[in-house]
Structure formats: C-alpha cells, structure tokens
Amino acid sequence: MSRIVVLGSINMDLVNHVAEFPKPGETVHGRGVEFLPGGKGANQAVAASLAGGGVEMIGAVGRDSFAQPLLDSLRERGVGTDGVLAKDGTSGLAFITVSDAGENEIILSEGSNGQVTPEDVGEERLAGASAIILQNEIPWEANVHAMKLARQAGAKVIYNPAPVRPIPAEAYTLVDLLVVNETEAEGLSGIPVADASDARRAAAELIARGAGGVLVTLGSKGSYYAESGADEDGLFTPARKVRAVDTTAAGDTFIGAFAAAAAEGRPPAEALAFATAASSITVTRKGAQASIPRREEIEEVLAAEAK
C-alpha cells in the first residue's frame, strides 16, 4: 500500500440547513445545527484512506472539547494521527449553511490550523511517502516547507490552493499536480473558466508557470486534466448525473480518491473515473467526512457503469 501524507486543516463543521440562503440583512429559520468533523485537509485524508490509501495526517487541533472528536473521526476512518499536534486555543471551525438546492456557503475560523509551523513538518514525516496533499487552510510557510521536503524525499506534491490566493512564481515548479476548481483556476490564471475549453486554456497557463500537471474540477460539468510535456490535448472526464443533496466535501473527496488511485499506479484516465465516481456518491449524502464513500462503494458504481 502506497503511503500518502496529508498536511492541512482539521475543522469542526457547524452545519445549518435552510430552504434558501439569507439575503444581506435577512434572518431565516434554520433546521437545527449539526456538529460534523471536516476541514479540507482532514476531508482529503479521509477520502484517500477510505479509497484504499495508507494515509498519515499532519496538522493541529486545539485544546478544547472539539479536539477529541476530530481525532476520533480520523482514526475511525483509518487515518494515522501521530502528526497531529495540540495547540493552545480552539480547534478550527467552519460555519456552513446548506440550502435545499444542495449548495453551501462557508465561513472559516482557522483556530489551531493557523498555528501550524514549518517545524511541525519534519523530514521523518515524509520518509517513504509516495505523495503529499496540501491546501491553503494552514500558513503558506508550512506548505512551501513541505513541498521542498517532498522534493528531497521523492514524494509527489498534490496542491489544492483553496481558498485561492496568489502562488509565488518560484513555487509552481515545486508542484507535481495543481488541483483547482473553476474559481481557483480563474483566480490563479486570470482566465475565466466555465467549461472544458476554458479549463484547457487555464491549465496551459498554469503549466507554463512551472506546474507539472493541472487538474481542473468543473462540478456538474466534469473535470479536465493535463500534464506538462504531454503530446495529448489533455483528458476531459464527464461528471455522473446524480441528485445532489449536499456538495460539502465533494471536491475533497475527488482529490483524495484521485490521489489514492494514482498512488496505486492507475493511469490518469482510470484514476479520474474513480475520483468522479467517489465524488458523485458524496454529493448524495449530508455532511463532510460522514458523506465520503468507501472503496467498495466506488468500485460498485464503476462496475455498474461498465455493464
């Protein structure tokens, strides 16, 4: 089993369901609050683990009542937590509103995630790893340090720059695969992305800056994948048609499942189909980590489609 390291955020999601999102100044009735373990880093770690990867998490929780449930959720789903440290203050919190249409709005309070330092990411954490997955919900200094360590260790860097912010020019060359949605692709490349053709142009721009490959997720329209130096025109994978209940963690599921499949040596087209099936299951369920499917469920979907 290939070993995948995930460095990133660990949050408790406070989820409120509403009929429609409130307009500015408007008060609407919620249907109760749920406390669900989440965070982009933790979600991606769970997705990779449930998809069959051997996963270790590096991150931080606070010294509060949320810390233990957050750790328990990772461990119960097969994620190693020796690299998760306790920091003073609160754990990361995400205040999520989900509408009846299945869309979500999220406010992040970084808490302990903002205290992750380069020193928390030691060389020993990356020894023997095939890949490391990173996001933007911890300080940039820790991310770039991990990228450099990964290069030295021979581990591939899979970077999901969300929430989006500019990437220093020199950092692109440290990234083996840049994974972005439409908004992030536009934010980085300056090219508006609405379809696969736009995604192709945005990916070409990001590869020109030094990224080894780019994967643009397009929600219900599918995804586009391109590699530096490849002769082909990239790979477009259509999305599966399902009824979305909650899109929370759909992108994280896609990334984790893709990383697990790629770590097994599956070719990109096969890994993309696997990730697409995984995320299509996630959106039919409520919650973040609770909605992420196991490998057997993903394989069942793929087997049914192959008939």
- Which are the catalytic amino acids? 252
Q: Which position has the token pair 């008060």?
A: 27
Q: Measured between alpha carbons, how far is 289 from 72 in angstroms, rounded to an integer?
A: 12
Give burial (CB, 10 Å; 0-12/13-18/19+) of 34.
Answer: middle
Q: Measured between alpha carbons, how far is 187 from 185 in angstroms, rounded to an integer?
A: 6
Binding annotation for substrate: 11-13, 39-43, 137, 252
Q: What are the residues whose beta carbons fall under 8 Å from the beta carbon of 132, sequence distance 6 or more? A: 4, 5, 6, 7, 126, 146, 147, 150, 155, 156, 157, 158
CB 272 within 8 A of CB 235: yes
Binding annotation: 11-13, 39-43, 137, 181, 217-222, 246, 248, 251-252, 282, 285, 287, 291
CB 204 within 8 A of CB 234: no
Pairing outcome for strands 213-217 and 223-227: antiparallel
Binding annotation for K(+): 246, 248, 282, 285, 287, 291
Q: Measured between alpha carbons, how far is 44 from 85 in angstroms, rounded to an integer?
A: 18
DSSP letter at 115 equals G
